[in-house]
Amino acid sequence: MEVTADMVKTLRQQSGAGIMECKNALKETAGDIEEAIICLRKKGIAKADKKGGRSTGDGAIGSYIHAGGKIGVLLELNCETDFVANTDEFKELLKDIAMHIAAAKPRFISREDVTQDVLDKEREIFAHQARESGKPNHIIDKIVDGKISKFFAENCLQDQAYIKDGDMTILELIKQKIAKLGENITVGSFSRYEINR
């Protein structure tokens, strides 16, 4: 199938990828725009993984206030240079993640930030619940492991489903932006405030 300029243009508008990347993705997927987007996302995540170890000594601090001033978030988002920190794309990512934190209430940035005592306590609770519901002993560990995975998905920012697109996690969103901006991006820290009603 011949890849036309209009097809490349459409894919560029939807993905934000470069002309040659779009052209190659369309060739690989026989002109299927949806499949080409998936292809670009996979390649972007692979590129982002390579950049993942690089130092992030720059960035910005952003805030998000919601619900008539009842919920607020301060977020430190890091990148490699002030050039990227000052791009609209980076600022938009900062705002989107801060908004996500306001809505999703993560307790930790990543799984690595969950302390061993918190994990032990959760495991103890999940095992107790499984025993109380009459589950046989030989499957309790599997049940607990499943519940721990769910705990990570609910409480760790990177593992949470992005509120604007439930098909991707926050980590996948960040990796997309890493691939697009060409620099490593990390969440430094965040604080979420809520006035109890």
Contact 85, 59 (CB under 8 A): yes
The CA distances from residue 64 to 89, 126, 162, 188, in Å, are 17, 34, 16, 16
Q: For the chain, how many residues are written?
A: 197
Exposed / middle / buried, residue 87 (Cβ in 10 Å: 0-12, 13-18, 19+)? middle
Convert the pLDDT of each residue in 169-189 to its tens digit: 999 999 889 888 888 999 999
Cα separation, 56 vs 17, in Å, equals 23
The predicted structure's pLDDT at residue 197:
58
End-to-end CA distance of the chain: 60
Percentage with pLDDT > 70 across the chain? 90
CATH of domain 58-109+156-194: 3.30.479.20
Question: Side chain identity at 2, as an amino acid letter?
Answer: E
Nearest-CA neighbor of 189 among 90, 97, 84? 97
* Segments of the chain assigned to CATH 3.30.479.20: 58-109+156-194
* Segments of the chain assigned to CATH 1.10.8.10: 5-51
The predicted structure's pLDDT at residue 163:
95
Contact 56, 48 (CB under 8 A): no
CATH of domain 5-51: 1.10.8.10
The predicted structure's pLDDT at residue 17:
67
Q: Print pLDDT tens along the chain (197 aa).
A: 788 888 888 877 776 666 777 888 888 888 888 888 788 777 765 555 555 566 667 899 999 998 789 999 999 999 988 999 999 999 999 999 999 999 999 999 999 999 999 999 999 999 999 888 888 888 888 999 999 999 999 999 999 999 999 889 999 999 889 888 888 999 999 999 999 85
Convert the pLDDT of each residue in 63-79 to its tens digit: 999 878 999 999 999 99
- Global pTM reads 0.71
- 3-state SS class at 80: coil
Overall fold of domain 115-154: GTP Cyclohydrolase I; Chain A, domain 1 (1.10.286)
